[in-house]
Amino acid sequence: LSELEALMERMKRLQEDKEDEEASQEEMATRFEKEKKESLLVISGGICAFPIPFSFDDEIVSTDVSRYIEDPGFGYKDFARRGEDHLPTFRAQDYTWENHGFSLVNRLYSDIGHLLDEKFRMVYNLTYNTMATHEDVDTTTLRRALFNYVHCMYGIRYDDYDYGEVNQLLERSLKVYIKTVTCYPERTTKRMYDSYWRQFKHSEKVHVNLLLMEARMQAELLYALRAITRHLT
């Protein structure tokens, strides 16, 4: 099967399995922990056998990027330390954007919560109901997997989501691309962009990028707003 046909087959199989039997809460928790740990092994440009904390000291920042930043040492670092057994988890049910973050942002800056929420919803729900040459395709499962995988990389877990779907729908090469775009955007190249989902339209692949960046922004906001909430209370 081609990459596209294989992906559509996995989506169909996931839907059938979900209708037949749902995973238990314990199984879903285990799958999340596995996916979270594996996300630490993903580094831009390849898959590593163990997590390597990223530092700009290990790589020269390109001139095109460095002239726009004041601190060349500022960059993404994984939320857990190398070799750590018990990785921290942010349970989304304890602090969600809809029930907590949205209202706090509006208190701090009038109406900004509405604008952010509209932006998140628009990008998440954006679809032509197509996958390359196939029409009338429900891409909800795939969009949810992309969004939740980004949050998983940031240690955020949704109790009602089966992270086994992430592992089945997102191939390892795509996970490398996702982490690069989300965590090290300055490393993203056209070659990387061209190498995944070759049969998809550019508009569909651009939507993936939009979805990844909005997921990252919401993850960052959840951590920041939860810290503010704790400070205020």
Q: What is the DSSP letter of 189?
A: -
Report whether 195 contacts 173 (CB < 8 A): yes
pLDDT tens, position by position, 123-164: 999 999 999 999 999 999 999 999 999 999 999 999 999 999
CA dist 16 and 10 (Å) reads 10
DSSP 95-161: S-IIIIIHHHHHHHSTTHHHHHHHHHHHHHH---SEETTEES---HHHHHHHHHHHHHHTTEE-TT-
- Residue pLDDT, tens place only, 27-60: 999 999 999 988 888 875 544 433 333 333 334 3
Nearest by Cα to 139 from 150, 128, 149, 148: 128
Cα 217 versus chain centre, distance: 10
- The domains of the chain are located at 3-52+75-232
pLDDT at 88: 86
